[in-house]
Amino acid sequence: MTTRTIRKSGIRKKKKEQSEYFFDYSLLFIVLFLLGFGLIMIYSASSYEAYTEFGDAAYYLKKQAVAIVVGMAAMIVVANIPYHFWERFAVLGYVVSVILILLVKTPLGIEANGARRWIRIPGIGFQVQPAEVAKLCMILFLAVMVCKMGKSVRTMKGFFLMMAIPLPIVLLIWQVTNNMSSAIIVMAIAILMVFVASPDYKKFVIAGVGVVAAAALLVFYVINSDGSGNFRFARIRVWLDPESDAQGVGFQTLQGLYAIGSGGIWGKGLGQSMQKLNFLPEAQNDMIFSIICEELGLFGAIAIIVMFIMLIWRMMIIANNAPDLFGAMLVVGVIGHIAVQAILNIAVVTGSIPNTGISLPFISYGGSSVMFLLIEIGLVLSVARRIQLKEL
């Protein structure tokens, strides 16, 4: 198979009609840009803490770079394998996800920052977060299911079946690894995929309104309940007024807001963040966006948001032109994953929603996350390569 390339937009490609297949370099470059930018920001955000903690300013940078190299290799492999190859592993993936999540409770599980969410793969000392595996496997499994079910997706029964598929995984992630944010993301990916698979709008609009109403009701309930109760209630209360518990639950949110606010329009300049000097917890991880805001200002933040919009737009074009429904659904799943995670992360960092640990795709520090994201990009590229240009 020869690959000839077109970098221009889809419309332009139509006119050229010079190559048989399509390789989406635009997508690749956007991803590479985000990864490179992420590395710079991880170094900037973490070097101080890394130096004081480990005596090596590049400690986090190096670990992330290794994960990216491994992830890129995996991406290239996956991009070169026709994506239908993975169809047969759908059920296996689902089962493996469940097993990996349960393994967290065994001695293989690793506890960090007070949560047991990682497992160590014996032999190579490599850590993996089962929730990241589950996200990828869920995309694959649902894509296969959508194709298998065909038109029965449109029935009520099909709809509920599709919605029921991710629930065991979601509940396991939530309850076993105590990781509500990953559970929400997996559920959101599933809902978005079912949304695309089903021609109906009404159900989703009703469900959407229902969720919003339930959320509003919960917030109302939390405001009127007394101060005690579980920590998620506290998070909601603090979200409404971060300064009410500035040293406790609201600490991270408030420190993030200090960083964002003090960045202003132009930012303090790369490397000039004050908040990264141990003030802001998880500066290189979940809260990296606030350091970007502080150092690069509103314009740096816009650049990142624009890059994500472009990334999603590119993937939309691939999904729309995918050679078959399976390919399209795979890409939709990846869109859902990246979009939901990026939107929720920025929403958390800006204090728009209650604080919960969600990383910013490609940019936040986190080996498992970036590796599985790159594998997903590999899948998207694989789908893109199957686009026959004459089809367009």
Partner 1 sequence: MLTNNNKIYHRKKIMVLTIACVVMFLLLFGRLIYLMVWRADYYSQLATDLHERERSIKAARGRILDRNGTVLADNKTVCTISVIHNQIENEEEVIRVLCKELDLSEEYVRKRVEKYSSMERIKSNVDKAVGDKIREYDLAGVKVDEDYKRYYPYGELASKVLGFTGGDNQGIIGLEVVYEDYLAGEAGKILTVTDARGVEVEEAGERRREPVAGNDLYISLDRNIQTYATQLAEQAMATKEADSVSIIVMNPNNGEIYACVNVPEFDLDNPYELPEGTSDTLTAEEKQDALNRMWRNACINDTYEPGSVFKIITAAAGLEEGVVTPSSTFSCPGFIVVDDRKIRCHKVAGHGSEDFVQATMNSCNPVFITVGLRLGVDNYYKYFEQFGLKTKTGIDLPGEAGTIMHKKEDMGNVELATVSFGQSFQITAMQMITTAASIINGGNRVTPHFGLKAVDESGEVVESFTYPVQEGIVSEETSATMRSILEMVVSEGSGKNGKVEGYRVGGKTATSQTLPRGSGRYIASFIGFAPADDPQVIAIAIINNPQGVYYGGQVAAPVIRQLFENILPYLGIKEYNQ
Phi, psi at 112, each rounded to 5°: -145, 140
The verdict on 336 binding partner 1 (CB under 8 A) reads yes
State the minimum distance, in angstroms, from the CB of residue 68 to partner 1: 24
Name residues contacting partner 1, limited to 260-319 (CB under 8 A): 260-265, 274-275, 277-279, 293, 297-298, 301-302, 305, 308-309, 312-313, 316, 319
The verdict on 373 binding partner 1 (CB under 8 A) reads no
CB 236 within 8 A of CB 222: yes
Considering beta carbons, is residue 120 or 203 the nearer one to partner 1? Answer: 203
E-strand stretches of the chain: 109-112, 115-121, 126-128
CB 237 within 8 A of CB 229: no
Which letter does DSSP use for residue 179 in this model? -
Considering beta carbons, is residue 71 or 361 the nearer one to partner 1? Answer: 361
User: Distance between CA 310 and CA 303 in Å, rounded?
Assistant: 10
Considering beta carbons, is residue 21 or 258 the nearer one to partner 1? Answer: 258
Considering beta carbons, is residue 54 or 221 the nearer one to partner 1? Answer: 54
State the minimum distance, in angstroms, from the CB of residue 151 to partner 1: 9
Size of the site for partner 1 (CB under 8 A): 50
The verdict on 59 binding partner 1 (CB under 8 A) reads no
The single residue among 104, 192, 234, 236 that binds partner 1, judged by CB under 8 A, is 192
State the minimum distance, in angstroms, from the CB of residue 284 to partner 1: 15
Alpha carbon distances (Å) from 54 to 48, 50, 66, 277, 368: 10, 5, 18, 15, 21
State the minimum distance, in angstroms, from the CB of residue 76 to partner 1: 26
Classify residue 292 as exposed, middle or buried by CB count within 10 Å of its CB (0-12, 13-18, 19+).
buried
The single residue among 128, 287, 346, 380 that binds partner 1, judged by CB under 8 A, is 346
Token pair, residue 39, equals 């590395």
Phi, psi at 84, each rounded to 5°: -65, -20
User: Distance between CA 364 and CA 284 in Å, rounded?
Assistant: 6
State the minimum distance, in angstroms, from the CB of residue 378 to partner 1: 20
> For the chain, how are helix, strand and coil distributed in percent, rounded to 5?
70, 5, 25
User: Distance between CA 195 and CA 203 in Å, rounded?
Assistant: 9
Considering beta carbons, is residue 67 or 342 the nearer one to partner 1? Answer: 342
Residues at the site binding partner 1, with contacts judged by CB under 8 A = 48, 52, 192, 195-197, 199, 257-265, 274-275, 277-279, 293, 297-298, 301-302, 305, 308-309, 312-313, 316, 319-320, 322-325, 328, 332, 335-336, 339, 342-343, 346-347, 350-352
